[in-house]
């Protein structure tokens, strides 16, 4: 009695394309898993340091890696003339700026850049908010983060006067002539009475998003393999 046999006869080019595609999808999936692990490790470090007492930043230059995510305290003098406004910062649906001001460390020639908090843009973007800045010695408590701040730029010009779309420490040092600690301090205490909002939040690690992306890439790899099998199985009569 005649019937049909199923034969698997893939062409060379389809095999090469399939192997290449699966390899790419798997590589992207494992890369996303590694990113998720990095974020989990970073979040664990942040939680650990949050339970530790603050440390004091010395008067000499330090390494960012030695203080990253740690709570620190410093005494110094704000230089309001060199404040900048980091644009496109949203708080509760309202557009605003983060105010970054250098703080000259007491008994030192080194400054540390402090993100003092958020302020609304206001009705007229051509007029910057008036920020109260204490003129005497201040005590600042905060968390150390990386000084590299990149955001979606809405303009080809990243710097317009005191308004910056993105922040680069080397560029800022070159423009101001200051010697800065290689870090950024997120101010937590309200000792300066400047009216700025300092709600940095306590976000999760964000690793779940990367894990989701990894599963998508692994799914693409599996789908590619299944399609490869289905398209290359041929029915042949055994009559």
From first to last of its 239 residues, what are the pLDDT tens digits of the chain?
555 567 778 888 889 999 999 999 999 999 999 999 988 888 888 788 878 888 998 888 999 989 988 999 999 999 999 999 999 888 888 999 999 999 999 988 999 999 999 999 978 888 888 888 888 999 999 999 888 766 544 444 577 888 998 888 888 999 999 999 999 999 988 877 788 999 886 656 678 889 999 999 999 999 999 998 888 887 665 55
Q: Quick check: is 90 in a domain?
A: yes
Question: Are 103 and 146 found together in one domain?
Answer: yes
Q: Write out the two tokens for 170.
A: 């080397």
Token pair 């042949």: residue: 236
> Do 104 and 74 meet the contact criterion of CB atoms below 8 Å apart?
no
Q: Quick check: is 173 in a domain?
A: yes
Domain count of the chain? 2
Residue 10: domain span: 4-41+206-237
Question: Are 58 and 166 found together in one domain?
Answer: yes
Of 76, 84, 134, 81, whose CA–CA distance to 103 is shortest?
A: 76
Q: What pLDDT is attached to residue 38? A: 87
152 CB contacts (<8 Å, ≥6 apart)? 88
Q: Beta-carbon neighbour count of residue 76 at 10 Å?
A: 22
Question: Are 129 and 82 found together in one domain?
Answer: yes
Question: Are 121 and 211 found together in one domain?
Answer: no
Q: What pLDDT is attached to residue 40? A: 87
Question: Are 169 and 68 found together in one domain?
Answer: yes
Q: What pLDDT is attached to residue 154? A: 46
Question: Are 228 and 167 found together in one domain?
Answer: no
Of 160, 140, 22, 20, whose CA–CA distance to 84 is shortest?
A: 160
Question: Are 216 and 183 found together in one domain?
Answer: no
Question: Are 89 and 172 found together in one domain?
Answer: yes
Question: Are 100 and 74 found together in one domain?
Answer: yes
219 CB contacts (<8 Å, ≥6 apart)? none
Query: 156-170: buried (b, 16+ CB within 10 Å) or exposed (e) per residue?
Result: eebbeeebbbbbebe
């Amino acid at each position: 009695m005649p019937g049909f046999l199923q034969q698997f006869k893939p062409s060379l080019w389809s095999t090469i394309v399939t192997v290449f595609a699966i390899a790419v999808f798997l590589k992207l999936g494992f890369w996303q898993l590694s990113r998720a692990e990095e974020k989990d490790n970073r979040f664990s470090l942040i939680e650990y340091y949050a339970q530790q007492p603050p440390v004091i930043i010395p008067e000499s230059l330090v390494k960012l890696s030695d203080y990253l995510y740690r709570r620190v305290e410093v005494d110094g003098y704000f230089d309001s003339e060199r404040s900048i406004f980091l644009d496109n910062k949203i708080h509760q649906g309202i557009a605003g700026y983060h105010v970054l001001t250098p703080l000259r460390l007491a008994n030192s020639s080194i400054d540390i850049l402090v993100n003092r908090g958020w302020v609304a843009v206001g009705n007229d973007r051509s007029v910057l908010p008036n920020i109260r800045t204490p003129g005497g010695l201040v005590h600042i408590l905060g968390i150390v983060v990386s000084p590299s701040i990149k955001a979606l730029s809405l303009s080809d010009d990243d710097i317009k006067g005191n308004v910056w779309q993105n922040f680069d420490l080397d560029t800022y040092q070159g423009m101001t002539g200051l010697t800065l600690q290689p870090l950024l301090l997120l101010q937590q205490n309200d000792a300066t009475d400047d009216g700025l909002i300092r709600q940095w939040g306590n976000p999760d690690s964000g690793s779940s998003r990367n894990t989701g992306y990894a599963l998508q890439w692994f799914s693409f790899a599996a789908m590619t393999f299944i399609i490869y099998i289905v398209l290359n199985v041929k029915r042949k009569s055994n009559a």
